[in-house]
Amino acid sequence: MLAAIKRHTAQPCPPESALDPSGPPTAAAEPQWAAATVHGRSLYLPYQHPRTHSIPVAMIHFRSYFPHLLDQFTHFASHSASALAIPISRPVALPTQRSLWTVLKGPFAHKKKQENFERKVHKRAIKAWDADPQVVERWVKYLENHAMGGVGMRVIKWERAQVGIGKDRLDHVKGQIRIASATNADKVKKLGERIVREELGKEA
């Protein structure tokens, strides 16, 4: 199946003007949209959006006993990420895990007649960069909704917070807690001023 995919010609994205939902619907909107949609897009490899900052945002691991199922689902995942304009890597194959069991063929004795059984776990990984956390969440939810039987998915997400978030959180929590031991005169004064301001604001 993958041999049919033309590796050297990835389809470009449809122009943004054709997909703009704002503004009143014109008579030409529907045919323009249909013309902009690339039918049979999945025959080709997905368009690789260029990374803007190369900041890793998510990594998805896929595992399955059957590599053809993995190929199908990673193809689907790559296309959906491309549709959401998330810069992703190609599906990378991680080392296959192989478990081997050697059991006696018969229920009793005959140690010299044994049989080998194995189970191979094939793995793929797709890494995503630069997208907003909400977009990544959408992508992950979409994949989970259309999950494929026989393919397991593990998602690792990295989100960023502003510098000093720990201190902000701590201050917020401390503000919530009442420390009965010592009241800071400044804090009480500020609180009083705040209350006065709010009350005046309500009256006005």
Distance CA 189, CA 193 (A): 6
104 binds another protein (CB under 8 A): yes
Please choose, out of 47-55, 112-120, 172-180, 185-193, the segment that lies near another protein by the rule CB under 8 A.
Answer: 112-120
Polymer length of the chain: 204
- Cβ proximity to another protein: between 27 and 100 the closer is 100
Q: In the beta sheet, which residues pair with residue 102?
A: 116
163 binds another protein (CB under 8 A): no
Which of 12, 26, 101, 200 is in the footprint of another protein by CB under 8 A?
A: 101
By C-alpha distance, which of 20, 21, 15 is closest to 36?
15
Please choose, out of 37-45, 88-96, 99-107, 166-174, the segment that lies near another protein by the rule CB under 8 A.
Answer: 99-107
> Number of residues in contact with another protein, rule: CB under 8 A?
16
Which of 117, 134, 163, 166 is in the footprint of another protein by CB under 8 A?
A: 117
Question: Cβ(133)–Cβ(159) under 8 Å?
Answer: yes
By C-alpha distance, which of 123, 124, 163, 140 is closest to 58?
140
100 binds another protein (CB under 8 A): yes
Which of 68, 119, 141, 190 is in the footprint of another protein by CB under 8 A?
A: 119
Which of 105, 146, 169, 189 is in the footprint of another protein by CB under 8 A?
A: 105
16 binds another protein (CB under 8 A): no
The CA angle 177-179-180, to the nearest 5 degrees, is 135
115 binds another protein (CB under 8 A): yes
Q: How far is the CB of 94 from another protein (least distance, A)?
A: 17
SS3 153: strand
Q: How far is the CB of 125 from another protein (least distance, A)?
A: 20
Please choose, out of 22-30, 95-103, 140-148, 160-168, the segment that lies near another protein by the rule CB under 8 A.
Answer: 95-103
The CA angle 36-42-46, to the nearest 5 degrees, is 85
* 17-51 residues labelled b (16+ CB within 10 A) or e (exposed): eeeeeeeeeeeeeeebeeeeeeeebeebbbbebee
Point out which residues bind another protein (CB under 8 A).
65-66, 100-101, 103-107, 115-121
